[in-house]
Amino acid sequence: MGVIARYREFLPVGPSTPEVDLHEGSTPLVPSRNIGRALGLSRLFFKYEGLNPTGSFKDRGMVVAVAKALEAGSRVLMCASTGNTSASMAAYAARMGVRAIVVVPSGEIAMNKLSQALMYGAKVVALKGTFDTALEAVRDLTSRYPVALMNSINPDRIQGQKTAAFEVVDVLGDAPDYLLLPVGNAGNITAYWKGFREYHAAGRSTRLPRMVGAQADGAAPIVAGHPIANPRTVASAIRIGNPASWEGATSARDESGGLIAAVTDTEILAAQIRLANTEGLFAEPASAAPLALLFRLVMEGKIEKDSTTVVVLTGSGLKDPDAALKNVEPPIELDGDARTLAKVLKL
Ligand SMILES: *Cc1c(COP(=O)(O)O)cnc(C)c1O
């Protein structure tokens, strides 16, 4: 069952909303086995969003946005994307038999994400410039033509994405003390905070978490307090210089008593490898940013050891293996039998 069927009462859907469903959501909240212990945190969990149908949390918002766009009569869907939004939109458009047009920053998106959009049959335009340039063009075009804008400035995206917060509460029995996630265009932090508040208001939880957002050093407009013209980071999903949901992010931070801080690419890649090596969870670089930030916050004594902490792993590591593979040893090339193999392996 997908998120619309599961959380219908909290979503802007009615009897005339078409049924759209790829069984997105219901992703596991995996307890940490090793990192939590190493940090002295007794209750650390990973919300493994890479297990959504197209490999990222984007499916939660996209399913609602596509359903609402179809309900309104749209037959052409469009988005600007750093990769995952386009993969998700293209999948739901394919399923529902409508046209998908994707604008990506030329040369800036991971090959596997691009391959998804192409395989699902979207028309892909690689526009010269940054993600922010692409989004501006898409906003302009969709305001003048009968084409539905599917970026997270579309409020239906935020509505769907908030279901991840519901799932965290449903599994834990209450809200966690801290929820950490990467911040790019800032739709997701806005959505989680909305979800936690709505569930709290409905009596489903007794408290609200502190929202902790991680940006990348070279792409940290919210931390800097101004847009960044040429955002740079290995984490392409958060390579964004002028977040569309800027205010949503700062409200989530301030209302929850949380924080948004930046980590370096080196910290991101180290956290990504440690997560894969010690937990068996392979997430894309953007997803490792909040884990890198957690390491720092624990070191600085800013997270109580008995707190319940959730790190959102927003996308699968298989999305962007190139970024990760630069930091591991390549396979051993060998021509030989079991004896030579054993020798090389020091068995
Ligand atoms: C989209 C995305 C982000 C950033 O989310 P925002 O809502 O843009 O802040 C982070 N990680 C992954 C894997 C993403 O696909």
Stretch (H or E) spanning 308: strand 308-313
Residue nearest to atom 15 of ligand 1 (CA): 84
Ligand 1 atom with minimal separation from the 287 CA: 11
Question: So what's the pLDDT on residue 266?
Answer: 97
Residue nearest to atom 1 of ligand 1 (CA): 237
Structure tokens at 78: 């469009």
pLDDT at 247 over 90: yes
Task: Say how many Å lie between the CA of residue 333 and the centre of ligand 1.
Answer: 37
User: What is the mean predicted confidence (pLDDT) over 77-82?
Assistant: 94
What is the percentage of the chain residues whose pLDDT exceeds 90? Answer: 93
User: What is the mean predicted confidence (pLDDT) over 23-36?
Assistant: 98
User: What is the mean predicted confidence (pLDDT) over 223-243?
Assistant: 95
Question: So what's the pLDDT on residue 322?
Answer: 85
- Residue 129: count of CB within 10 angstroms of its CB: 13
Which residue has tokens 């030579």? 340
Task: Say how many Å lie between the CA of residue 16 and the centre of ligand 1.
Answer: 30
Q: Do the Cβ atoms of 55 and 24 come closer than 8 Å?
A: no
Residues 116 and 214: their CA atoms lie apart, in Å, by 26
Task: Say how many Å lie between the CA of residue 331 and the centre of ligand 1.
Answer: 31
User: What does the pLDDT look like over 169-207, one tens digit per residue?
Assistant: 999 999 999 999 999 999 999 999 999 999 999 999 999
Task: Say how many Å lie between the CA of residue 238 and the centre of ligand 1.
Answer: 6
User: What is the mean predicted confidence (pLDDT) over 254-264?
Assistant: 98
Q: What is the pTM of this model?
A: 0.96
Which residue has tokens 């050891």? 305
pLDDT at 152 over 90: no
Residue 100's φ and ψ, nearest 5 degrees, are: -125, 130
Residue nearest to atom 2 of ligand 1 (CA): 237
3-class SS of residue 77: strand
Q: Do the Cβ atoms of 20 and 63 come closer than 8 Å?
A: yes
Distance of CA 132 to the CA centre of its chain: 18
Question: So what's the pLDDT on residue 67?
Answer: 98
| Mean pLDDT over each residue of the chain, to the nearest integer | 96
Task: Work out the burial of residue 106: count CB atoms within 10 Å of its CB; fewer than 13 is exposed, 13-18 middle, 19 or more buried.
Answer: middle
- Calculate the alpha carbon distances from 100 to 75, 119, 163, 225, 268 in Å: 9, 12, 24, 34, 32
321: pLDDT confidence band, cut at 50, 70 and 90? confident
Ligand 1 atom with minimal separation from the 161 CA: 7
Residue nearest to atom 4 of ligand 1 (CA): 184
pLDDT at 326 over 90: no
Task: Say how many Å lie between the CA of residue 32 and the centre of ligand 1.
Answer: 22
User: What does the pLDDT look like over 88-138, one tens digit per residue?
Assistant: 999 999 999 999 999 999 988 888 999 999 999 999 999 999 999 999 999
For a substitution probing ligand 1, which of 59, 238, 281, 291 has the most ligand atoms within 8 Å of its CB? Answer: 238
First to last CA, the chain: 47
Task: Say how many Å lie between the CA of residue 237 and the centre of ligand 1.
Answer: 5
Task: Say how many Å lie between the CA of residue 346 and the centre of ligand 1.
Answer: 42
Q: Which of 13, 1, 42, 43 is nearest to 171 (CA)?
A: 43
327: pLDDT confidence band, cut at 50, 70 and 90? confident
- In this structure, the residues whose C-beta lies within 6 A of any atom of ligand 1 are 56, 58, 84, 152, 182-188, 237-238, 284, 286-287, 314-315
Residue nearest to atom 3 of ligand 1 (CA): 237
User: What is the mean predicted confidence (pLDDT) over 59-70?
Assistant: 98
Task: Say how many Å lie between the CA of residue 128 and the centre of ligand 1.
Answer: 21
Residue nearest to atom 13 of ligand 1 (CA): 315
Question: So what's the pLDDT on residue 82?
Answer: 86
Ligand 1 atom with minimal separation from the 186 CA: 9
Stretch (H or E) spanning 4: helix 3-6
Residues 202 and 185: their CA atoms lie apart, in Å, by 28
Ligand 1 atom with minimal separation from the 152 CA: 7
Task: Say how many Å lie between the CA of residue 339 and the centre of ligand 1.
Answer: 47
Residues 169 and 287: their CA atoms lie apart, in Å, by 20
User: What does the pLDDT look like over 135-149, one tens digit per residue?
Assistant: 999 999 999 999 999
Ligand 1 atom with minimal separation from the 181 CA: 10
- Calculate the alpha carbon distances from 186 to 30, 182, 205 in Å: 24, 8, 24
Ligand 1 atom with minimal separation from the 83 CA: 15
Task: Say how many Å lie between the CA of residue 183 and the centre of ligand 1.
Answer: 6
